[in-house]
Amino acid sequence: MSPSTDDLLKAIFQAELRGASISASELARHLGISPPGITQMANRLQEDGLVEYRPYRPMTLTQEGRELAAGIIRKHRLWEMFLHKALKMGWNEVHREAEMLEHQTSDALANRLDEFLGHPAFDPHGQPIPDRHGRVRTRKDILALSEAEPGITYTVVGVTDKSDDLMDFFTDIGLTLKSRITVNGKISMDESVIVSVKNYRTILSKTVAEHIYVQK
């Protein structure tokens, strides 16, 4: 299976976890592939029994496709944890390496990693690691910082790691998992959020705030 096919399955899986559906054009944008390229991949994955796809309809995973996607995400997040815990790499350094390693990892090796790491429930970014049966733990009472209320101090419980720039920015301002973050206010014009993290007071765009998950 080529990396891009894996990435397509992962993107649909993650949208489904959020309770959302994802169209072929959104997938094309997300993966940087042309719409005809996506259609071609979708048709091939449908033949393999991994996705269900009809033109102009959201793409969905079959049970087999869902298990495969959960397995790839499991390998990715276990590698991130290994690189972070065992090799002491920063949380802003591990995603890129894991993107490559996830495609070259057998289920048996993933299980050995899982054992070595003591069956971690979450990766270094606070994202849940699917278990060997593809089950994903969900946490309650978590919201995106973009939805948080002014005047309240929250604890950071997760970030999305898709952008290296963003991860470097988080590292620069000292934002880590378990950081306390206070929402000082919101700018109504564009819904950006004024926050304090440690001794930093900064403004986060709505888009950046959507990538930080917090708990009261």
Site residues for Zn ion per CB under 5 A:
95, 161
- Strands in 143-144's sheet, in edge-to-edge order, are 143-144, 212-215, 153-159, 180-187, 192-197, 200-204
Decide whether 65 or 123 has the Cβ nearer to Zn ion: 123
Q: Which of 115, 113, 84 is nearest to 97 (CA)?
A: 84
In the bound complex, what is the minimum distance in angstroms from residue 80's beta carbon to Zn ion?
5
In the bound complex, what is the minimum distance in angstroms from residue 155's beta carbon to Zn ion?
21
In the bound complex, what is the minimum distance in angstroms from residue 89's beta carbon to Zn ion?
12
Decide whether 58 or 134 has the Cβ nearer to Zn ion: 134
Residue 134, number of CB atoms within 10 A of its CB: 16
In the bound complex, what is the minimum distance in angstroms from residue 95's beta carbon to Zn ion?
4
Tokens representing 166 are 């963003």
Phi then psi for 111, rounded to 5 degrees? -65, -35
Phi then psi for 48, rounded to 5 degrees? -80, 0
Decide whether 95 or 211 has the Cβ nearer to Zn ion: 95
Phi then psi for 102, rounded to 5 degrees? -60, -30
Residue nearest to Zn ion (CB): 95
In the bound complex, what is the minimum distance in angstroms from residue 113's beta carbon to Zn ion?
15
Decide whether 67 or 97 has the Cβ nearer to Zn ion: 97
Decide whether 77 or 186 has the Cβ nearer to Zn ion: 77
